[in-house]
A and B are shown apart, each in its own frame.
Chain A
Amino acid sequence: MKILNKLSNINIVKTLALLIPLLSSCQDFLEENPPGILTKSNFYKTEADAISAVDALYATIQSRTNGMYWGEFFSKTDVNTDDMFVDPGVGNVAWQEWGRLNIYPEIGQLLDVWNHHYLMIGRANAAIEYISTDLEIRDRLLGEAKFFRALAYFDLVRFFGDVPMTYSVITNLDDAVQIASTRTPSVEIYNMIEQDLLDAEKDLPDTWAGANAGRVTAGTAKGLLSKVYLTWAGEPLRDVSKYQLAADKAGEVVNNRSRYGYDLEDNYMDVFENDLSKESLFEGQMVQGLGNEGALAGIQFLPRNLTPILGPSYRGNALMRPTPDLINSYDPSDLRLQTAFFTSLSNADGSATATFDPHVFKYIEVEDILYQGLILNDGNRNTKILRFADILLIYAEALNEANSGPTTAAFDAIDEVRNRAGLIDLSTTLSQNDFREAVYLERRLELFAENIRWFDLVRQGRYISTMESFSNTLQDYPNPATASTMVIEKNVQSHFNLLPIPKSQLDILELEEDIQNPGYQ
């Protein structure tokens, strides 16, 4: 008590003053230093940082939250063609609309196409711009990033035509709107794609192995570039001078196959059953059980009714079923028809069997998935983005166009693909036009359900006509499992050579002038 009484007013004030938060002087009280988050200012410095920045690009071709290569792609490239249709029982409105070609600027998943590709570009731009120039492996890493950037723009330009283009990181809101409002002519974008891929093939190694297997190589870049040239030469730009470049570039891959470690697998189904096989130039690696890293393809192609073998609870989505038109395009002896499609499935002990119209078997993991985990939408099969058979056919097609007729090398290339399918060599007397048709058909038979058909038809200038003449009922199958007379609806319109720019993206821009693709206004 005495002590307290001794305290004078002055002492009390002094004591309390100590409690006053004298924080006005220390500015860092309001400074943010996130303990659990990396920021731009403390990243991109070390080799580990830089590799990690590039690895984020691989996520865009594999993770279901970062990209569309895990399964969504099919609706824009296969189910909207004469190859595939959506099972009528599918409740997903967006898929049904893609299948019936009811395509409009708000259609479901269209935005994903747009977003995921610009995401890939944004990550590539950030890596290219920010990775420290002091790093020895910078050129190689930039090569990988440039490949992804080229891949993204190549997809975009094929889907949408002229698109907004940026080759640097956007940091300002006004810049973002300005860039997004400007549709850069496709040819300029092709020039940039070419440059990126040339850089990539220069700075990347020929092969990768071990923990790096699956990364982009010089061969990957060359292979993609050959496809870029071939597309550039076709519709709508029709720069036929690019056929020679396509042939040259494909030739560099085909004729140096041992250098890059490429070749055809012995059996067609090995391509799909094996990961990172020698036939693969580039693929999205899928892993089951991690949550977001598995493939959707299995359940997408699986028949809906598997009750006899799996009970009523489990079923496929049958988002994509092959049309009778595709099935009937095969020679009955074609090994691809025999192995890559199926019309029945038995349970593990063989005690029960479900039968159905033909469905695609390429992606169905019977042993691994169906009979065990039953996690149907989380598959292990990698998504093939670029494979050697594709390059062989590009080579054949480009040679035929560049040389006004098929060369020996062109025949060799297509026959290599045909022979594996159990088909005999093409007649060497084919005219340029007959050979062209033969390659077109071969591409369809070889590459079905691999995100290629729509691009091919458009490039070949015959998507609209093909779809206009398309007419199938389910009874058109050689051996229909059901007697359904259902007509497969494909309501093509003349402007469907390009997809519409997603409406919500245009809405953001608040433009006076409509920059939507023709026909979609």
Chain B
Amino acid sequence: MKNKLLLLHKEIIMYSFYGLVIQLLIGTVVLATEVTHAQKNASVKDTNISFQFTSKNLETVFREIEEKTDFTFVYTAKEIDTEIKMNGDYINAPLYEVLMDISKKTNLAFRQYNNNITVKKAAYTKRETTTEFVEIVQDVDISGKITDENGEGLPGASVVAKGTANGTTTDLEGNYKMEVPENSVLVVSYVGYITQEVTPNGRNVIDLQLQLDAAQLEEIVVVGYGTQKKSEMTGSVASIDNVAIADRPISNFVDVLQGNAAGVAVNSTSGAPGSGVQVRIRGIGSINSQIDPLYVVDGLPFTGSLNSINAYDIESIEVLKDASATAIYGSRGSNGVILITTKKGTNGLTIDYNGSYNIQSLRKKMDLLDATQYAQLANEAELAIGNPERYSSSDIAAFHNNGKGTDWQDEIYRNAIMQNHQISVRGGNEKMKFYMSGNYLNQEGIVKTSQFEKYTMRANIDADITKKLSVGNTLSINRQFNSGVAVGTTTRDNNGDSNVVWAALVTNPTLQIKDEDGNFNSNVPDPIFDNPVALINGNLRQSNTTEIIGSLYLNYDLFDWLSIKSTFGFGLLNSMEGKYTKKFIIGSSDGRAIRNTNQNSNWISTTQLNINKEFGEIHKLNATLVTEAQEVQDEAFSATATGFVVDNLLWNNLSSGSVAQTPTSSASKWSLLSYLTRINYVLNDKYLLTVSGRYDGSSRLAQGNKWYLFPSGALSWRVSEESFMSSVNAVDELKFRVSYGESGNQSVGTYNTLSRLTSVTAIIGANENQNIGFAPANFVNEDLTWEISKQLDIGADVTFLEGRVGLTVDYFNRKTEGLFFNKALPSVVGTTGVAATTNIGSVRNKGLELEVDATVLDVEGFRWDVMGNFTYTKNKVLALAENDTIITGFSGDFGNGSDSQILAVGGQLGVFQGYLNDGLYDSDASLTIDGSTRAPGDLKYVDVNEDGNIDSKDKVVLGTGIPNKFWGLTNTFGYKGLSLSVFLMGSHGNKLVNLTRQVTSLSLDGKSNNNLEVLNRWTPQNTNTNIPRATALRPSTKFSDSWLEDGSYIRLKTITLGYQLPQYMLEKLNVRMLKLYVTATNLITFTKYTGYDPDVSVSGSVTQQGFDQGVYPQVKSFMLGLNIGF
């Protein structure tokens, strides 16, 4: 009884979802009515009709019958000969009779099914026995059980009456029950199984066992503008399925890529909730331009925020790496392409809930001086320059917290909660399938007040309207809230974005948070930093983003080998940002509010022709022809006001500020027009050829230079299909691949090839009027064209031991030419910008990728799987402007880092250049640096060229900021319902500039707080040390190897213990699936790096690689999760 109720409940849910789908699918109402069960109908024999017609054509007759009865004729135009004129006169005659008469005259056959009368040409002429040509079909009840290859009930299998939309799906036990027209052939299907047809022959109970379909099980890989069988792939593509996503705390789907795909380097720029990561595929192929890959979601290039993609909606992620795979994306493919496929509907109905609760904390706390230790250092620093001590012994004795003072890190960090809830429904039948989900994510940041919140909804629907015509859509709507404290990369930028993480490390620990009056203390003696707690409470930021992304497609199969598909996609991103700096923040005594809004909209229209034809057993041809147009528009507005009476209104009422700045606004638009084709040819299932070309035109380039053709070609040989391999039983599949092609990078700024003017303010007149002047803004390079990346890939795929071990190896050599380069121009050009975007120089990335996938053990219910990948890349600057070296870097708060990276022909990217530290001066402080003398205990540098002076000639190369080796290794152990997954990853070969340590350990001026290691500072008594002396007048420091640390690390990224309830318990609970799991993230990290975290970068820019200063730290977290499915 209980079970029946549950079933009923399930059915109600199912049908209400069908109803929802129908509402969403405007235009398929017709279909939807067929999906619902047919009612009993009157037969043509029982329906009488009176009418008379003379010399009317058949269509008119049908229409009149339709008007007079409830019946509808169903036919296609070519069935009916409209030339034939009909005559007739009936009075209350059965419709059956009328149809018989028509049949005799026209040689048509009629078949009644419910209210429909289908019209077909009769198979043969047999005028004498015309009675057969009007047929009435009755519905009969049929039920049964569908089982899998093991005889277990198969839930969600589809049972459909052949040639109709009438069908159902099996329940949890595999049972089904339906009404079908009598003598219907039943079609039973399930993904991964061979579809079977069965004729009832009068039986009312039909049980069926389905067999696995080996061909269908073969992995299908999503590629640009289509899919391919993995065995027929010629390109290098890394696939990640949704299994990798399920059990991890993920706020951004890109996290999934880290350590999970060979050739894909993922690096965090910040640990702040909702913040970005940088993804580099096969090294860095550009210097001044976009180096992010192109993201394509469900076939449409994606221009929104990556945060908007809900990880739990993802079915699979494919990373296109070699030119054969990326050239199809032409001018945007050179940095690789990441294809994201969201979940689609399936036969049968499943409902899933996935929820997790996650506690995050600071992974590592820095050891800083306490108040007493700091005061002693400050006194020493003052004494060193002849000043009196800053803290008397009675001051020190009176420090709060037993002399320890304030631990500012404790004041700003917290344990933070992240929770995620996802509910999704998948369902459908042979005709229509849907996937719908709702997701809520709430992630608190470990810095107090920072928080990220996201709501996402998705509906993906696919429907076959006729056998040949199908339509579908994807629709995702999400809203994000990102709030909290500003975390800039420098102390305080123009918008008042102070860096609270940084401030907490350097603020004087002797201070109380607030004074006796309850006001925030400002940092003394150097108020360049605000009190960190004041920052948290007074430097408020909030942004909210709404994103709507959707697409519609129409697919029509012209022939079984030719189809045409047209897709229209649309995206709208709207964000509002508010910033408010309260009056107690330094430099903002009036309060400052900023409101920014930004809108990005884009549309894309793609029409493609797909050809799929086999010629005998030998030749297989697959070709795609596409035309595509895309337009992207950006609009922005910003307003600022100061002079607020109270802080309460934040950014919500700018007019309540007394001083308004001139608001700013901007708008831009770019478009891309493309024609592309790809041809795959397979000979004898052994030799595979892929050729592709994309002809791209972009608005961003100058007239005459807008178009370029990106070609590619790939050859592949399935050695394992050769007859001579048939004796090698160990090898299941062996394939060699080679590909070469070109792809491009078009991400030069809009309007770069136009001679633009910039507005400037000039004060003129007795009343100091602000006149707006327009001045030449830029120097135009009319020859600007694409960056072109040429890539060679040689690879092999092998599986052996009956598929237990799979191995993929790839060597790549990617050379990017005509790099977008902001070539510095001599200032004589007289424009505001003294750089022109040119195509100069070339960079090469070579490397090796290895992916292994193995089932180590599979005995008696115990299973051990290993999945690993390893990447080695090496880059080299092949050419720059003649004799050019480019000096870049990141300045940091105390300068001197801005010229620390050098880019030179023959060298690598991200190379550091600086001085060699030579310990400290002892008694030999005679050597001058920049004309000033040094004292014992000051940092000393190596006079490399031994000219008696430390100057720029003494700089040497000190390593690179870009890792050259990275890997990931996942071990999964399963025993019955238990599973343990251990994911290790590593990154090696880079140096990090620890700008934090530069201040907290090497700059002992008593103004900012220091790391505990400065207790070992130089004093006349302690000379055997590398920590310089304390002095309030800090001598200028130089970028040296003492700023650099090894950035390599190995990390136990996640470890997950899961328990899946066994089948018998599930049956008792009447759930399909139930899994509980606990996951720990960033639990253990092995690194020599002394900063917060080695996975860090202040900037995504190629020319600022490997700098760390006050970056929002990464978290350590523990998560409890539940997956339940019905």
Contact status B754-A32, CB under 8 Å: yes
Q: Which residues of A contact B776 (CB under 8 A)?
A: 40, 122-123, 126, 169
Question: Using an 8 Å CB-CB cutoff, how does the interface string of A106-140 with B read, 1 for contact, 0 for none?
Answer: 10000000110011111101100000000000000
**Chain B, range 817-862, C-beta contacts under 8 Å to A:** 823-832, 834, 836, 838
Contact status A93-B1036, CB under 8 Å: yes
Question: Using an 8 Å CB-CB cutoff, how does the interface string of A31-59 with B read, 1 for contact, 0 for none?
Answer: 11011111111010000010011111111
Q: Which residues of B contact A483 (CB under 8 A)?
A: none
Q: Is B72 an interface residue (CB 8 A)?
A: yes
Question: Using an 8 Å CB-CB cutoff, how does the interface string of B346-357 with A read, 1 for contact, 0 for none?
Answer: 000000000000
The answer for the CA separation of A20 and B522 in the assembled complex, in Å, is 64
Contact status B629-A21, CB under 8 Å: yes
Q: Which of A173, A212, A287 contacts B768 (CB 8 A)?
A: A287
Q: Which residues of B contact A173 (CB under 8 A)?
A: 779, 781, 823, 825, 836, 838
Q: Which residues of B contact A38 (CB under 8 A)?
A: 756-757, 774
Q: Which residues of B contact A508 (CB under 8 A)?
A: 824-826
**Given A16-B607, A21-B629, A23-B673, A164 and B771 contact (CB-CB distance below 8 Å):** no
The answer for the CA separation of A260 and B214 in the assembled complex, in Å, is 98
The answer for the CA separation of A16 and B760 in the assembled complex, in Å, is 51
* Closest partner residue, chain B, to A114 (CB atom): B827
Question: Using an 8 Å CB-CB cutoff, how does the interface string of B760-799 with A read, 1 for contact, 0 for none?
Answer: 1111111111111111100111000000000000000000
Q: Is B469 an interface residue (CB 8 A)?
A: yes
The answer for the CA separation of A200 and B774 in the assembled complex, in Å, is 21
Q: Which of A6, A62, A66, A504 contacts B76 (CB 8 A)?
A: A6
Contact status A510-B884, CB under 8 Å: yes
Contact status B766-A170, CB under 8 Å: no
- 7 A-B pairs in the complex with CB atoms less than 8 angstroms apart: A8-B76, A12-B469, A34-B750, A38-B757, A39-B754, A97-B930, A180-B826
The answer for the CA separation of A238 and B700 in the assembled complex, in Å, is 53
Known: A5-B74, A58-B773. 6 other contacts (CB 8 A): A2-B75, A4-B465, A19-B607, A40-B755, A93-B1036, A171-B780
The answer for the CA separation of A9 and B665 in the assembled complex, in Å, is 50
Contact status B75-A5, CB under 8 Å: yes
Q: Is A100 an interface residue (CB 8 A)?
A: yes
Q: Which of A2, A19, A65, A164 contacts B73 (CB 8 A)?
A: A2
Contact status B828-A164, CB under 8 Å: yes
Q: Is B564 an interface residue (CB 8 A)?
A: yes
Contact status A286-B763, CB under 8 Å: yes
The answer for the CA separation of A213 and B772 in the assembled complex, in Å, is 16
Contact status A285-B764, CB under 8 Å: yes
**Chain A, range 1-31, C-beta contacts under 8 Å to B:** 1-2, 4-9, 12-13, 16, 19-21, 23-24, 29-31
Q: Is B448 an interface residue (CB 8 A)?
A: no
Q: Which residues of A contact B829 (CB under 8 A)?
A: 118, 122, 170, 176
CB distance from A450 to the nearest CB of B (A): 19
Q: Is A424 an interface residue (CB 8 A)?
A: no
Q: Which of B31, B666, B757, B836 contacts A40 (CB 8 A)?
A: B757
The answer for the CA separation of A173 and B631 in the assembled complex, in Å, is 31
Question: Using an 8 Å CB-CB cutoff, how does the interface string of B110-130 with A read, 1 for contact, 0 for none?
Answer: 000000100000000000000
Contact status B629-A31, CB under 8 Å: no
Q: Is B628 an interface residue (CB 8 A)?
A: yes
CB distance from A123 to the nearest CB of B (A): 5
Q: Is B554 an interface residue (CB 8 A)?
A: yes
Binding site for B on A (CB under 8 A): 1-2, 4-9, 12-13, 16, 19-21, 23-24, 29-32, 34-41, 43, 49, 52-59, 62-63, 65-66, 93, 97, 100, 102, 106, 114-115, 118-123, 125-126, 164, 166, 169-171, 173, 176-177, 179-180, 209-215, 275-276, 285-287, 289-293, 312-313, 374, 491, 504-505, 508-510
Q: Which residues of A contact B751 (CB under 8 A)?
A: 32, 34, 37, 39
CB distance from B358 to the nearest CB of A (A): 42
Q: Is B661 an interface residue (CB 8 A)?
A: yes
Contact status A285-B832, CB under 8 Å: no
The answer for the CA separation of A119 and B773 in the assembled complex, in Å, is 14
The answer for the CA separation of A63 and B773 in the assembled complex, in Å, is 12
Q: Which residues of B contact A106 (CB under 8 A)?
A: 952
Contact status A123-B775, CB under 8 Å: yes
CB distance from B732 to the nearest CB of A (A): 42
The answer for the CA separation of A31 and B754 in the assembled complex, in Å, is 11
Which of A34, A65, A287, A292 has its CB near the most chain B CB atoms (within 10 A)? A34
Contact status A102-B697, CB under 8 Å: no
The answer for the CA separation of A37 and B831 in the assembled complex, in Å, is 15
**Given A118-B830, A176-B828, A508-B824, A30 and B628 contact (CB-CB distance below 8 Å):** no
Contact status B764-A211, CB under 8 Å: yes
The answer for the CA separation of A374 and B590 in the assembled complex, in Å, is 11
Contact status B760-A63, CB under 8 Å: yes
**Chain B, range 566-620, C-beta contacts under 8 Å to A:** 566, 568, 586, 589, 605, 607
Q: Which residues of B contact A54 (CB under 8 A)?
A: 773
* Closest partner residue, chain A, to B636 (CB atom): A36
Interface contacts (Cβ under 8 Å), in number, total: 271
The answer for the CA separation of A360 and B758 in the assembled complex, in Å, is 37
* Closest partner residue, chain A, to B34 (CB atom): A1
Q: Is B882 an interface residue (CB 8 A)?
A: yes
CB distance from A100 to the nearest CB of B (A): 7
Contact status A30-B824, CB under 8 Å: no
Q: Which residues of B contact A62 (CB under 8 A)?
A: 762-763
Contact status B828-A170, CB under 8 Å: yes
**Chain B, range 36-75, C-beta contacts under 8 Å to A:** 72-75
The answer for the CA separation of A346 and B145 in the assembled complex, in Å, is 98
Contact status A30-B697, CB under 8 Å: yes
Which of B77, B522, B628, B761 has its CB near the most chain A CB atoms (within 10 A)? B761
Q: Which residues of A contact B661 (CB under 8 A)?
A: 291
Which of B661, B773, B781, B881 has its CB near the most chain A CB atoms (within 10 A)? B773
* Closest partner residue, chain A, to B755 (CB atom): A40
The answer for the CA separation of A66 and B666 in the assembled complex, in Å, is 21
**Given A126-B775, A176-B829, A313-B522, A5 and B673 contact (CB-CB distance below 8 Å):** no
Q: Is B669 an interface residue (CB 8 A)?
A: yes
**Given A102-B931, A125-B830, A55 and B757 contact (CB-CB distance below 8 Å):** no
Q: Which residues of B contact A31 (CB under 8 A)?
A: 699
Contact status B828-A34, CB under 8 Å: no
Contact status B659-A289, CB under 8 Å: yes
**Given A30-B671, A34-B751, A211-B766, A53 and B827 contact (CB-CB distance below 8 Å):** no
Q: Which residues of B contact A39 (CB under 8 A)?
A: 751, 754-757
Q: Which of B34, B770, B781, B826 contacts A505 (CB 8 A)?
A: B826
**Chain B, range 440-478, C-beta contacts under 8 Å to A:** 465-466, 468-469
The answer for the CA separation of A57 and B830 in the assembled complex, in Å, is 12
Q: Which residues of A contact B824 (CB under 8 A)?
A: 504, 508
The answer for the CA separation of A7 and B557 in the assembled complex, in Å, is 13
Q: Is B668 an interface residue (CB 8 A)?
A: yes
Q: Is B524 an interface residue (CB 8 A)?
A: yes
Q: Which residues of A contact B586 (CB under 8 A)?
A: 313
Q: Which residues of B contact A23 (CB under 8 A)?
A: 629, 673
**Given A34-B754, A35-B668, A55 and B762 contact (CB-CB distance below 8 Å):** yes
Q: Is B558 an interface residue (CB 8 A)?
A: yes
Contact status B826-A177, CB under 8 Å: yes
Q: Which residues of A contact B228 (CB under 8 A)?
A: none
The answer for the CA separation of A57 and B771 in the assembled complex, in Å, is 11
Q: Is B698 an interface residue (CB 8 A)?
A: yes
Contact status A8-B78, CB under 8 Å: yes
CB distance from B903 to the nearest CB of A (A): 13
Contact status A56-B760, CB under 8 Å: yes
CB distance from B630 to the nearest CB of A (A): 9
CB distance from A11 to the nearest CB of B (A): 9
Q: Which residues of A contact B769 (CB under 8 A)?
A: 211
Contact status B757-A37, CB under 8 Å: yes
Q: Is B137 an interface residue (CB 8 A)?
A: no
Contact status A58-B767, CB under 8 Å: no
Q: Which residues of B contact A212 (CB under 8 A)?
A: 764-765
Contact status B775-A59, CB under 8 Å: yes
* Closest partner residue, chain B, to A312 (CB atom): B524
* Closest partner residue, chain A, to B528 (CB atom): A313
